[in-house]
Amino acid sequence: MTRVRNIELVHFTRALELFPNDPEVLFFAASAHEAFAGARTQSVMRSIKVPRDVSFGVQDEDAELRLAEQLYKRAIERNPNHLEARIRLGRVLGLRGRHKEAVDLLRQGQVATEPVLQYYAHLFLGSEFEALGNGADARQSYERAAALAPAAQSPLFGLSRLADQAGDREGARELIARVFALAAGDEERVDPWWVYEIVQARSLDGLLADLHRRIAALPK
């Protein structure tokens, strides 16, 4: 369901009741709250009127980010090698204005072996360094993200904005020209940022297969 952006809190809540210390359950519950803090969900929540006694369980952006932070931290406590949780926690802390803590976590996430996770770590580091006023490191991070995903527009936007902020309007324009020069077709033009809210679901097939194996191995 996460894969098709149908994130239902009830399933995560029940899973947490059953397996409160499972790092994967904690991780997925955290990512649900991170998604709920995003514009897509928050806009829907603003636009619908519900009776006083009805609740969808979604809170405002700050509260959802706070929940996501708590759950990611618990996931990392249970599994310190969970680099994806570290990267996501880094982003959440950045959104909460704690940029130095965010940088520490994202740096740890840089060593992830999956290119998509490396991309997120570098992309988010670019933003966090920018927030800290560290233009040189921000530029380097965005450049690394751009190298990992040459068809992605987000690192180029980040680089352009950095140039503009530094007073280099011509440089900023050249970087946007690079965005315009990217392939127009949706198949060639892939930016992992666009699927950030659902990308964690990519591992679910493996987790389910592992679950089935374990169940099959149980004594009859």
User: Is the CB of residue 78 less than 8 Å from the CB of residue 91?
Assistant: no
Query: Of the listed pieces 22-30, 79-87, 106-114, 164-172, which binds another protein according to CB under 8 A?
Result: 164-172
Give the residue, chosen from 123, 146, 149, 199, that forms a contact with another protein under the rule CB under 8 A.
123
How many Å separate Cα 1 from the centre of its chain?
Answer: 17
Instruction: Copy the structure tokens of residue 34.
Output: 């991170």
CB of 176 to another protein, least distance (A): 4
136-155 residues near another protein, rule: CB under 8 A:
153-154
CB of 59 to another protein, least distance (A): 16
63 binds another protein, rule: CB under 8 A: no
CA distances from 144 to 13, 156, 184, 194 (A): 37, 11, 23, 18
135 binds another protein, rule: CB under 8 A: no
112 binds another protein, rule: CB under 8 A: no
Query: Taken in order 196, 199, 201, 207, is the CA torsion positive or negative?
Result: negative
Give the residue, chosen from 14, 100, 169, 212, that forms a contact with another protein under the rule CB under 8 A.
169
Query: Of the listed pieces 22-30, 37-45, 51-59, 112-120, which binds another protein according to CB under 8 A?
Result: 37-45
CA distance 218 to 220: 6
194 binds another protein, rule: CB under 8 A: yes
43 binds another protein, rule: CB under 8 A: yes
Burial code (b: 16+ CB inside 10 Å, e: under 16) for 166-198 equals eeeeeebeebbeebeebeeeeeeebbbbeebbb
CB of 106 to another protein, least distance (A): 15
CA distance 31 to 144: 25
Q: What does the binding site for another protein look like in residue numbers (CB under 8 A)?
A: 38-40, 43, 46-47, 123, 130, 153-154, 157-158, 160-161, 164-167, 169, 172-173, 176, 179-180, 182, 184, 186, 189, 191, 193-194
